[in-house]
Amino acid sequence: MSAVLQVKNLSVSFHQDGQVNQAVRNVSFEVGRGETVAIVGESGSGKSVTALSTVSLLGPSAEVTGSARFDGQEMVGADNKLLRKVRGNDISFIFQEPMTSLNPLHTLEKQLRESMELHQGVTGREARMRIVDLLHKVGIRDPETRLGDYPHQLSGGQRQRVMIAMALANGPELLIADEPTTALDVTIQAQILDLLAELKEAEGLSLLFITHDLGIVRRIADRVCVMKDGEIVETGRTAEIFANPRHAYTQKLLAAESTGQPDPVPDTAPVVAETQNLKVWFPIQRGLLKRTVGHVKAVNDATFKVRAGETIGLVGESGSGKTTLALALMRLIHSEGRITFDGKDLRHFSTRNLRRLRSEMQIVFQDPFGSLSPRMSAMQIIAEGLGVHGRGDDPRPVRKMVAEVMEEVGLDPGTMDRYPHEFSGGQRQRIAIARAMILRPKLVVLDEPTSALDMTVQVQIVELLRELQRKYGLAYLFISHDLKVVRAMSHYVMVMKQGDVVEAGTADQVFQNPRTDYARTLLEAVA
Handedness of CA 299, 305, 307, 309 (dihedral sign): negative
CB atoms within 10 A of CB 157: 22
119-167 per-position pLDDT tens digit: 667 778 888 988 898 888 887 888 888 899 998 888 767 887 888 888 8
The arithmetic mean of pLDDT across residues 437-443, rounded, is 92
Contact present, 1 and 35 (Cβ < 8 Å): yes
Residue 310 lies in a domain: no
How many angstroms separate the CA atoms of 449 and 478, rounded? 8
Which strands make up the sheet holding 73-74, listed edge to edge? Answer: 19-32, 3-16, 62-70, 73-74
pLDDT of 225 above 70 = yes
Q: Is the pLDDT of residue 349 over 80?
A: yes
Across 398-418, average pLDDT: 91
CA distances from 103 to 100, 392, 446, 479 (A): 8, 39, 28, 27
Q: Which strands make up the sheet holding 36-40, listed edge to edge? A: 91-94, 174-178, 206-211, 36-40, 223-228, 231-237
Considering the chain, what percentage of its residues have pLDDT values greater than 70?
A: 95
Mean pLDDT confidence for 522-527: 74
Which pLDDT score is estimated for 391?
A: 58
pLDDT band at 527 (very low <50, low <70, confident <90, very high): low
Q: What is the pLDDT of residue 15?
A: 82
**Listed residue (306, 280, 332) closest to 493, CA to CA:** 306
Mean pLDDT (whole number) for 359-377: 84
C-alpha to C-alpha distance for 345 and 337, rounded to whole angstroms: 11
Q: Which of 163, 179, 199 is the last residue of a domain?
A: 163
Residue 71, C-beta contacts closer than 8 angstroms, at least 6 positions apart = 4, 90, 173
- Residue 254 covered by a domain: no
Number of Cβ within a 10 Å radius of residue 505: 17
Q: Domains in the chain: how many in total?
A: 2
Residue 139 is assigned to a structural domain of this protein: yes
The answer, yes or no, to whether residue 110 has pLDDT greater than 80, is yes
Residue 209's pLDDT is what? 94
- pLDDT over 60 (residue 392): no
- Last-in-domain residue among 420, 440, 460: 440
pLDDT 10s digits, 142-151? 888 889 999 8
Rounded mean pLDDT, 269-286: 91
Does residue 396 lie within any of the structural domains? Answer: yes
What is the pLDDT, as a whole number, of residue 1? 60
Residue 287 lies in a domain: no
The residues, ordered by sequence, that sit 6+ positions from 416 with a Cβ below 8 Å of its Cβ are 377, 378, 379, 382, 399, 402, 403, 406
CA distances from 357 to 340, 343, 351 (A): 12, 12, 10
Using the 8-state DSSP alphabet, how is residue 319 labeled? T
Does residue 299 carry a pLDDT above 60? yes
Mean pLDDT of the chain: 87
- Is 241 within the bounds of a domain? no
Element (H, E) at 521: helix 517-525
Predicted TM-score (pTM) of the model is 0.75
Residue 446 is predicted with a pLDDT of 94
What does the pLDDT read at residue 358? 85
DSSP per-residue string spanning 124-149: HHHHHHHHHHHHHHTT-SSGGGTTT-
Pairing of strands 336-341, 19-32: unpaired
Which of 67-76, 127-136, 221-230 bottoms out in mean pLDDT, i.e. has the lowest? Answer: 127-136
461 assigned to some structural domain: no
Residue finishing a domain among 127, 143, 163? 163
User: Structural domain of residue 126, as residue ranges?
Assistant: 98-163
CA nearest 381: which of 437, 442, 337? 437
Write down the pLDDT at residue 390: 66
Residue 118 lies in a domain: yes
pLDDT of residue 8: 96
The rounded percent of the chain whose pLDDT value lies above 90 is 43
**DSSP secondary structure string for all residues of 359-411:** TTEEEE-S-HHHHS-TTS-HHHHHHHHHHHTT--SSHHHHHHHHHHHHHHTT-
